[in-house]
């Protein structure tokens, strides 16, 4: 499998199996943003305690698997596609 966008888990891509993955790209501006993970009620939360999807994936796969992160968008509300090429390349 070269690339995957998970809409349904029919091929059992999840849970991730570190023995079958050489590299993985995690795309998106929220993938490694602990502050944004807290959502609307951030005044009461500590972003230092957030576990981002990117950090959880890196912890799961370990050092043997290359995990690349590309923001692709400056923020989750960006409307430009200028970062898409880097995301596709990853």
The tally of domains found in the chain comes to 1
Q: pLDDT tens across 2-49, in order?
A: 555 656 777 787 888 888 889 999 999 889 988 887 777 667 777 778
Q: Is 9 part of any domain?
A: no
Q: Is 82 part of any domain?
A: yes
Domain residues for the domain of 77 are: 23-89
Q: Is 71 part of any domain?
A: yes
Q: Is 44 part of any domain?
A: yes
54, 67 in Cβ contact below 8 A? yes
Please report which confidence band the pLDDT of residue 1 belongs to, taking 50, 70 and 90 as the band edges.
very low
Q: What are phi and psi of 14, to 5 degrees?
A: -115, 145
CA distance 23 to 68: 8
Q: Is 53 part of any domain?
A: yes
| Number of residues assigned to the chain | 90
Q: Of 14-18, 54-58, 75-79, 82-86, where does the model show the most confidence?
A: 54-58
Confidence at residue 13, expressed as pLDDT on a 0 to 100 scale: 77
Q: Is 65 part of any domain?
A: yes
Q: Is 18 part of any domain?
A: no
Q: What are phi and psi of 67, to 5 degrees?
A: -120, 115
């Amino acid at each position: 499998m070269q690339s995957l966008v998970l809409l349904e888990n029919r091929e059992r891509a999840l849970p991730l199996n570190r023995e079958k993955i050489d590299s993985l790209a995690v795309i998106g501006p929220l993938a490694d943003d602990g502050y944004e993970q807290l959502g609307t009620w951030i005044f009461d939360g500590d972003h230092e305690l957030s576990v981002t999807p990117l950090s959880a994936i890196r912890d799961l796969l370990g050092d043997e698997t290359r995990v690349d992160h590309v923001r692709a968008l400056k923020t989750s509300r960006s409307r430009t596609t200028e970062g898409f090429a880097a995301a596709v390349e990853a």
